[in-house]
Structure 1
């Protein structure tokens, strides 16, 4: 078995030098995902990847098929926020993840229900189509 340090070092070498051959054999899930995500010439093979690592690849490789099965809500939000071709489904997302999707996806309807002051400010600051509403916010939030 390849040690964690060797796995990481090999992944870095493959991503830092685009001319280096790609060999994912023996890399752990995280390092395989890193190489797949950062080397567009690397074939995508999600077999054996942890759910979070699958999300990492899906979010960064537009040519990767989207499959949100078995992903945590946060991992689903990452894919939804970064991939405009991913269907938006806010079910089960916490307020931070909901705000992230709303901010990064202009096609996402703006629904501030359940967002705290900080996340409401984030959405208002990043979405020019969002109405400004400081209701219920303190001086700190209004100053951001």
Structure 2
């Protein structure tokens, strides 16, 4: 009985010392993943405006679209010049994001490549389950 009480007290002491020291590491902030409200009309578009210029447009209902302009853009093509993936690079704190063509004409954010999300970047709140349409022009 005394052994377990000492072990618990020792563990508690170590925990308090670690929390009070300057070496404590803050836990990463959670990122709120977007969820569309029921009945809302949301249009998500990857707009390719030039060879290496792209933007992400999110239009909610009839509002003006929210535009996220990438610093660089890369299209990966497959058979018959069909676009199989789009990779967009953004300035820090954002990074590179790949959207893969998975279903018909829909592109989805590659959540596996995304890893841990950064709350300082609005793109990292995008729901990987929502499809995007590619618009070239």
Which category describes the TM-score, using the shorter chain as reference length? under 0.3
Scaled by the length of structure 2, what TM-score is found?
0.22
Scaled by the length of structure 1, what TM-score is found?
0.22
Q: Report which of the two structures shows the higher radius of gyration computed on alpha carbons.
A: 2
Q: Which has the higher contact order (CA 8 A, sep 6+)?
A: 2
